[in-house]
């Protein structure tokens, strides 16, 4: 999931000025509410040239409304201070939501030029709010007197959140420190832009061309067909091109018999954006230096200390302690997995030691040997259409919602599908949901959830429902086959939809408390627990149908899938926990004499990373922590949240995975509540106890 600091609180939204004469002939669609059902953006009318004028108009609106709050002589209260902050600039909020979506999903070269101009404007506007001393003084006065200004518990919590957010962003700093913070934030934001540009360009530039069909042995027909289409698009008709996008990279690593081809793809990926024209190493060095400076300005010893102080973990040491509790048994299990692979290699005449580019491939061989199972057996049952049917069916059973396609709704690309999410009993509108699932050159790697419109109270007193979307980079259809998802892609579909559910089902009354606006180390709980339904036998028997015959997946395959579900968990957990430990180590770096390659090796040696496994993300393509601040010193939250979801899942298993009472409690206490109460209180109210870290070890098969 992605979060932009810009939307962390609605008050920190910003955007700017008057229309240029060249655009006076047409009305800028970003300047007023969209005249569509549920106010879905009118994409067909939005032109790239609209963004800068709308951003400038929004900033003017923001500045004007902010001054109205500051000049109000009445005693600060919720209605005259917090509510106006929640809707500081409707124009800016509207323009920025589309802008940031395009930045990730439609980042064409033409858009990139717009972004270069827009980002500094947005940053400057955000600084004018976040560091405004008179505004902060009103918030502080309200915060200090929150028990006697007539507020209910949720309103008090929102006041506390605003106070904490402004303080964390430097509002209480002296003027010289504020100026230093502005400089640092501006420089870092430009580096984020450069990092993401380099990563996108490096990913699109790299491919391995295969000219001999014999070298494709082991690959599925759909993977080969996709590679042929890729080669043709690059001017190599009759050959096969493999890229670093997951639908191309992962099948090669897991299925290609040609070890040299696997090596080329693996080394291409693990050296991505590490040299040449798109080298991110100098960018990272500057980011680390600036983050260390920022932490000092904010009164912290290091960046990791600053970031963890804001969430459930509270300290980097607490996060590291949890990670090591999981990492050590994971490494032990990974050693057993490598031994099994090496035994397979030796038994089959291989005269080599398992290398990192062998891991996926021989893991599949061992899985097939142990469980008489490989992914190619189930993939025909996982067409994207079928998976979505299962996804939506589970949501209806659990939460009482129905997805109704809106074929005539506005969309920014033909690949996008738009749904009206309604109450399955009453037909009441709950949310708009959009999907965009296939790779393209203008889209960043990975998968995420974001929203174009938040739920909550708006400036006209209207309570609006959210507009949420999921973006992915899944295996695309070919001329002969529909999109057939891998096991990992099925899991990812359910994961991101879990985020979407939290965004769509929210009943929090204010935008800054709604949906996924919760602590970073709590936000992954809803997404990760939703993964469990993907391969639940009860649901598989409903949605997993063979794309050619329509046959329901047989119990024999379900049993194999279930039996093998804990297979290779040593590898999966080691690479994830390793990346989280690397992230925290970067956050604790003092910013001096940064050597990215040497530092990565130092951390790998220190924690005992197995030679056959690398970090899930090497630093030059670790966009979670260097593409923005979203998960910086916070990548550990995936495992932190997995403790919560593993514990919660055990309750579903105990009562039945579609048990109405358990689902209703989860919906009320977790999905709908947002940040209206402390996350630990909400979790304990659902689970009946504090989180049990051993639940995760049991789930992974380590205990």
Q: Which residues are designated catalytic?
A: 496
Is 419:432 a contact under the CB 8 Å cutoff?
A: yes
β-bridge pairing 429-436 and 467-471: parallel
Greatest pairwise CA separation for the chain in angstroms: 84
Is 402:11 a contact under the CB 8 Å cutoff?
A: no
Return the closest-CA partner of residue 644 out of 544, 561, 547, 525. 525
β partners of residue 208:
242
Tokens 């291409």, residue located: 268
Return phi, psi of residue 17, to 5°. -55, -170
For residue 206, give the DSSP letter.
-
Is 274:281 a contact under the CB 8 Å cutoff?
A: yes
- Spell out a b/e string for 26-59, using b for 16 or more CB atoms within 10 Å of the CB, else e: eebbbbeebeeebbbbebeebeeebbbbbbbbbb
**Which are the contacts of 649, defined by CB distance < 8 A and separation ≥ 6?**
529, 532, 695, 699
CA distances from 103 to 118, 182, 192, 413 (A): 11, 23, 12, 14
| Rounded Cα distance, 249 and 480, in Å | 21
Q: What region, left, alpha or beta, does residue 514 occupy, with left being phi > 0 and alpha being psi -120 to 50 degrees?
A: beta
β partners of residue 456:
464
CA distances from 601 to 282, 329, 610, 617 (A): 17, 21, 12, 13
């Amino acid at each position: 999931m992605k979060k932009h600091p810009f939307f962390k609180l609605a008050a920190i939204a910003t955007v700017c000025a008057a229309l240029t004469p060249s655009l006076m002939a047409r009305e800028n669609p970003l300047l007023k509410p969209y005249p569509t059902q549920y106010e879905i953006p009118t994409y067909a009318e939005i032109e790239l040239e609209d963004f800068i004028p709308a951003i400038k108009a929004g900033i003017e609106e923001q500045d004007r409304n902010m001054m109205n709050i500051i000049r109000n002589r009445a005693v600060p209260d919720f209605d005259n201070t917090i509510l106006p902050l929640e809707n500081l600039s409707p124009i800016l909020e509207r323009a920025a939501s589309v802008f940031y979506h395009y930045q990730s999903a439609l980042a064409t070269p033409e858009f990139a030029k717009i972004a270069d101009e827009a980002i500094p404007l947005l940053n400057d506007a955000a600084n004018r709010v976040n560091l405004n001393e008179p505004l902060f003084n009103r918030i502080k006065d309200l915060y200090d007197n929150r028990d006697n200004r007539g507020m209910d518990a949720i309103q008090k919590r929102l006041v506390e959140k605003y106070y904490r957010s402004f303080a964390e962003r430097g509002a209480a700093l002296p003027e010289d420190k504020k100026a230093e913070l502005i400089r640092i934030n501006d420089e870092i934001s430009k580096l984020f832009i450069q990092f993401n540009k380099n990563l996108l360009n490096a990913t699109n530039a790299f491919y391995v061309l295969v000219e001999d069909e014999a070298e494709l042995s082991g690959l599925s027909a759909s993977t080969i067909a996709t590679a042929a289409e890729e080669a043709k698009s690059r001017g190599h008709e009759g050959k096969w091109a493999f890229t670093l996008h997951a639908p191309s990279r992962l099948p090669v690593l897991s299925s290609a018999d040609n070890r040299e081809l696997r090596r080329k793809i693996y080394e291409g990926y693990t050296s991505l954006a590490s040299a040449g024209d798109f080298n991110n190493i100098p960018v990272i060095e500057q980011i680390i230096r600036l983050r260390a400076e920022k932490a000092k300005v904010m009164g912290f010893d290091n960046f990791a200390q600053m970031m963890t102080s804001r969430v459930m973990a509270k300290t980097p040491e607490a996060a590291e302690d949890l990670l090591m509790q999981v990492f050590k048994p994971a490494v032990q299990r990974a050693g057993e997995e490598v031994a099994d692979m090496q035994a397979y290699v030796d038994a089959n005449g291989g005269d080599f030691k398992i290398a990192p580019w062998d891991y996926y491939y021989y893991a599949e061989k061992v899985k097939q040997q142990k469980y008489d199972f490989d992914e190619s057996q189930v993939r025909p049952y996982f067409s994207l259409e079928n998976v979505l049917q299962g996804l939506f069916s589970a949501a209806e059973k659990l939460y009482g919602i129905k997805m109704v396609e809106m074929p005539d709704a506005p969309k920014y690309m033909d690949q996008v599908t738009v749904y009206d999410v309604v109450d399955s009993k009453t037909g009441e509108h709950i949310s708009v949901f959009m999907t965009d699932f296939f790779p393209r050159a203008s889209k960043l790697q990975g998968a995420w959830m974001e929203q174009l419109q938040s739920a909550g109270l708006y400036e006209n007193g209207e309570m609006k429902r959210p507009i949420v979307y999921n973006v992915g980079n899944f295996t695309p259809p070919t001329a002969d086959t529909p999109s057939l998802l891998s096991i990992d892609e099925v899991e990812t579909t359910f994961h991101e939809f879990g985020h979407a559910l939290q965004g769509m089902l929210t009943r929090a009354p204010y935008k800054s408390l709604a949906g996924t606006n919760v602590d970073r180390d709590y936000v992954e709980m809803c997404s990760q627990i939703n993964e469990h339904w993907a391969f639940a036998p009860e649901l598989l028997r409903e949605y997993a149908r063979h794309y050619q015959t329509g046959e329901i997946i047989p119990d024999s395959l379900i049993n194999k899938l279930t039996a093998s579900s804990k297979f290779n968990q040593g590898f999966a957990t080691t690479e994830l926990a390793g990346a989280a430990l690397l992230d925290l180590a970067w956050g604790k770096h003092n910013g001096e004499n940064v050597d990215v390659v040497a530092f990565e090796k130092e951390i790998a040696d220190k924690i005992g990373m197995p030679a056959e496994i690398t970090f899930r993300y090497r630093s030059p393509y670790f966009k979670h922590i260097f593409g923005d601040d979203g998960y910086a010193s916070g990548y550990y939250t995936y495992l932190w949240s997995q403790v919560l979801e593993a514990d919660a899942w055990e309750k579903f298993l105990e009562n039945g995975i579609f048990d109405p009472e358990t689902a209703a409690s989860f919906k009320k206490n977790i999905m709908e509540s947002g940040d209206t109460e402390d996350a630990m209180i909400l979790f304990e109210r659902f689970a009946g106890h504090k989180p049990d870290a051993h639940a995760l070890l049991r789930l992974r098969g380590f205990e």
